[in-house]
Amino acid sequence: MDLLADYGSADEDETIEDAPDIKQSIKRPIVNLTPDVGEDPSAANRIYIVPTATEIPVNVPYADMVQPIVGPENPFSQRRLLQQNVLTGHVEEQALNEYDFRIQQRTFTTYGYARDPSNMSGNLGPGIAGTGYIGDVNKAVQLNGATIHDSLPKSLRPNVDIQKKRKPKGDSSVLEGEGAYLGPWAGYKDENIGVPVGPSEEEVARAKATSLAAVDAQKLKEIAVGGETSIFHGKNETDYQGRTYISVPQDLDVNLFAEPGSQECFLPKRCIHTWSGHTKGVSAIRFFPNSAHLLLSAGMDNKVKLWDVYHDRRCLRTFIGHNKAIRDVAFSNDGRRFLSASYDKYVKLWDTETGQCIKSFTTGKIPYCVKFNPEEDKQHVFLAGCSDKKVVQFDINTGEITQEYDQHLGAVNTITFVDDNRRFVTTSDDKTLRAWEYDIPVVIKYIAEPDMHSMPAVALHPNRMTC
């Protein structure tokens, strides 16, 4: 810069001499390396105690002991976790009068504003812009904070525009024409008499088309008769010896072929296993006849499942064929077949081993219970108690109804064979118990008392004589 200042003519020298000193006009910022951070002067003399300390060797003033810990708070400290009642922090319950809450809720629905909720607990709620209200603050100021229980001038009422005004009564001296006397029978302005109300023809047609589409979609989801399927969940249906998965296992420490009562049994004391697979409730479960190594369950999810009881305790096969919840299932004597009764008004006969649906039966009514005839020479016959107060007897070979028992006054709930399978007992929603001779539709025993209730379940006594 000095060399540049010496270069030039005399006039330029004078100009440079008259110019202000550039080096003197430059201001450099001053950096304070020790700024004032506003510390408490007494903090330097305090004795800080570690929060986890269990012993204090000196006397510390109480005011110093209750001071907050310097630095950011540890969100995972035990002290903070003790104060939390939710994952993200602490939530306090606020007591609010139900009457006040309903008033403010309906005021907000009607007028569009309400008091700040903290006002209800005795505190001063600021609301929006310090008005004490939330929502439409301008409306609150206009109505002077009125609630739905406060009376307002007609000009300020929110429904003043939608109220229809009555026509003038008219002059009593004029009988016809303009200004005729109408009296108390005067109608309302802009009133349309004789004009049909309700949805238009286009709206009706659109709603009908939507309803039909929904019905068609539901029909597509339904399983037609003959479209029944089953799913096997195991690896192989037979083992290396050719035995199927429903064969009685031989590798257990329990003799499944023993006579009932030959082994010592005890009442259950704890839960051993829970079978999970149905997506809805289970309405009935049945053990495999004699050996009880398999379990059949009827679910409200329209499916029947077969479970293993002793080995892996997993689902072996799922039977899919009903369109509504299944009410009851029943095994045949050998367990090779079973019946399923559903709210879709069908009783279906299944092959337990292959999962094939052999035949379907229906009376047009809901079957509530099904039962095979226990006699070996009558395994082609089963009974079904229906919602139309009848017990219907079907022949599986022909698919025809061979007998009807129709003395009940309510839906039939249970069917139980007794007396060496020569008779059976039925219970119903009519709060009665009736005994029948098999294949004879005449009641031989009628039990009903004023204090009796409906009997939805019946079990046979082990002596096979009573139930």
Residue ranges of domains in the chain, CATH in brackets: 102-156 (no CATH), 229-447 (2.130.10.10)
**Lowest-pLDDT range of 154-158, 177-181, 449-453:** 154-158
End-to-end CA distance of the chain: 123
- The per-residue pLDDT for 251 is 84
Between 253 and 409, whose confidence is greater? 409
Query: Rounded CA gap, 133 and 119, in Å?
Result: 10
- The per-residue pLDDT for 122 is 46
* pLDDT tens-place string over residues 393-422: 999 999 999 999 999 999 999 999 998 889
- The per-residue pLDDT for 16 is 46
CA-to-CA separations, 167 to 155, 178, 209, in angstroms, rounded: 20, 12, 43
Q: What is the model's pTM? A: 0.56
CA-to-CA separations, 400 to 289, 335, 351, 360, in angstroms, rounded: 27, 23, 20, 11
- The per-residue pLDDT for 39 is 64
- The per-residue pLDDT for 286 is 94
Q: Quick check: 142 pLDDT over 80? A: yes
> Which residues lie closer than 8 Å to 394 by C-beta, 6 or more apart?
347, 361, 381, 382, 383, 384, 400, 401, 402
Quick one: CA torsion of 101, 103, 105, 111, rounded to 10 degrees? -150
Q: Quick check: 50 pLDDT over 50? A: yes
- How sure is the predictor about 124, in pLDDT bands with cuts at 50, 70 and 90? very low
Rg (CA), the chain: 44
Quote the mean pLDDT of the chain: 82
- The per-residue pLDDT for 428 is 93
